[in-house]
Structure 1
Amino acid sequence: MTRQRLEAVLSSLPPVAVAVSGGVDSMTLAVLAHRFLGPAAVEIFHAVSPAVPVDGTRRVQLWAEREGWNLVALDAGEFADGRYRDNPVNRCFFCKGHLYGAIAAVSRRQIVSGTNIDDLGDYRPGLDAARSAGVRHPYVEAGIDKAGLRDLARQLGLGAVAELPASPCLASRVETAIPIDPEALLAVDAVEKLVIERLGVQTVRCRIRRAGVVVELDAPELAALHGDGELVAAITALLPSDLAGRSIAFEPYRRGSAFLGAGA
């Protein structure tokens, strides 16, 4: 039923430009749209940026080859915007605004995103940018939540993609009002990969805060971590010079814990 509802929404749209980050939401939408509507009706766009994990870009490229997508990789240009780099509460508005503007500059198709109904309960300035750009959200229009789209991903045979943990852009790891620095984002990505490999965990966040660098883990993994000096040293070695001298702490994972919402 979920698939039929989504296909009905896609059928009602003109040819689409799918914005794909590499996460389960947008990847599932891209796969279904391309298979259902056909290559002539679908273009896939992926922004390559220091804020996008390298693994996400590789995943998009791999599936583009598998599925025969018309993939366009682009630089959305958000790092040229001082408003974005200043990392205000509404940073995502500027990021998404640049993304949708870059797509619209090279495609006249209807832009669609992987936003689902669970996303509507969060503070997401990017949705304001989407509204300004006339972006459509097929999952929302079909009434599909995160669990529903994961089930759809499994039905489509997306394998490990269906089980990907939530992974917002790397800029979300930087506490609000600390400037976004490309070198720091590359280090955040490297630290998270290191911790995943060393501890065999799925959920990890490397946060940059005023007080220092914090690595967040789920409670069981955090409880099993005792005095791992080698891990701290390995993390320190990956940090740029302005962060390497800061304290490194391990804390329980909290969604959005580096983000100060409106009024905070």
Structure 2
Amino acid sequence: MLLDINRVVVAFSGGADSALLAHAANAVLGPERVHVVTAVSPSLAADERADAEALAGELGLRWSAVETDEMTHAAYRVNDADRCAHCKDALMDVLVPIAEAESATVVLGVNVDDLGDHRPGQRVAIDRGARFPLVEAGLTKDEVRACSRRLGLRTADKPAAACLASRVPYGTEVTVDVLSGVERAEAALRRLGFDDLRIRHYDDTARIEVPIDRLADVVDRRGAVVAAVIASGYRYVTLDLEGLRSGNLNAALAPDGA
């Protein structure tokens, strides 16, 4: 899946998928033919950016960071069902020139499970020449994690960390202030030991999502949790009793809104 590509530019978030892809590419093609690039914008938490750089160093990857400008586009900020497409377009705007300069192909860490969700950015990436080697290899998310464990990658069990804009319900404008508030609240809760979580933004209300088996922990530490989220800029704090569901805001796109 990689030998026929020859040179690659890897969109590198530092998550389980892109880490496995980058590590495999580095092993198969060699570091001189692999360039991993982290896209930096207000939708990427500062902790995630720092971890991506650190991970690249640990894995011996040729790494760089580039800024994307999706926040300057009204079509992105309006946050309709095509937000992801506008974001991916901005990503490809910076990755394609890098790839062209190196006679390389842009590759993204998309796995088979990702194909079943509402992710219009995938079509944009394909239309602009990107490839999905993990999909070509038929790897699901569980298989990505299993392969990562066998290879000793510390990202094997790293919780998924979608862009901060995914915390904002469709129809609510995406702004730097909104994303910063989400980032502060999530960082505060991680400091309390909740590593796998989402803060869903509803104006002055934060809806906390954690895995079902951590709901009781949030309740037990209610005082500290509420104080941390309010200190991040929210007025009200709620807990989603259905637990953490990746991409659950996409349910609003269903015909019946469910």
**Does the pair score TM above 0.5?**
yes
Could you tell me how far apart the structure 2 residues matched to 1:230 and 1:62 are? 30
Name the Cα RMSD after superposition.
1.8
Matched, 1:30 2:26: no
Structure 2 CA distance for partners of 1:254 and 1:66, relative to 1, 3 Å: closer
**1:85 offset after TM fit, Å?**
0.9
Matched, 1:105 2:94: no
Aligned to 1:174: 168
Aligned to 1:221: 214
Structure 2 CA distance for partners of 1:90 and 1:262, relative to 1, 3 Å: farther
What is the one-letter code of the residue matched to 1:25?
D
CA contact (8 A) 1:206 1:214 kept: yes
CA contact (8 A) 1:172 1:256 kept: yes
CA contact (8 A) 1:192 1:204 kept: yes
Taking the TM superposition and a 5 Å limit, the aligned residue runs for 1:189-200 are: 189-198=183-192, 200=193
Could you tell me how far apart the structure 2 residues matched to 1:149 and 1:231 are? 32
Matched, 1:206 2:199: yes
Q: Which runs of 5 or more structure 1 residues have no equivalent in the other structure?
A: 1-8
Q: Which runs of 5 or more structure 2 residues have no equivalent in the other structure?
A: none
**1:183 offset after TM fit, Å?**
2.3
**1:148 offset after TM fit, Å?**
1.3
Structure 2 CA distance for partners of 1:165 and 1:230, relative to 1, 3 Å: closer
Relative to the length of structure 2, the TM-score reads 0.90
**1:187 offset after TM fit, Å?**
2.1
Aligned to 1:84: 76
Structure 2 CA distance for partners of 1:228 and 1:26, relative to 1, 3 Å: same
**1:185 offset after TM fit, Å?**
1.4
Picking from 153, 157, 171, the partner of 1:158 is: 153
Matched, 1:115 2:106: no
Greater shift after overlay, 51-60 or 113-122? 51-60
Picking from 122, 127, 139, the partner of 1:144 is: 139
**1:173 offset after TM fit, Å?**
0.4
Aligned to 1:249: 238
**1:118 offset after TM fit, Å?**
0.9
**1:158 offset after TM fit, Å?**
1.1
CA contact (8 A) 2:9 2:98 kept: no
Relative to the length of structure 1, the TM-score reads 0.88
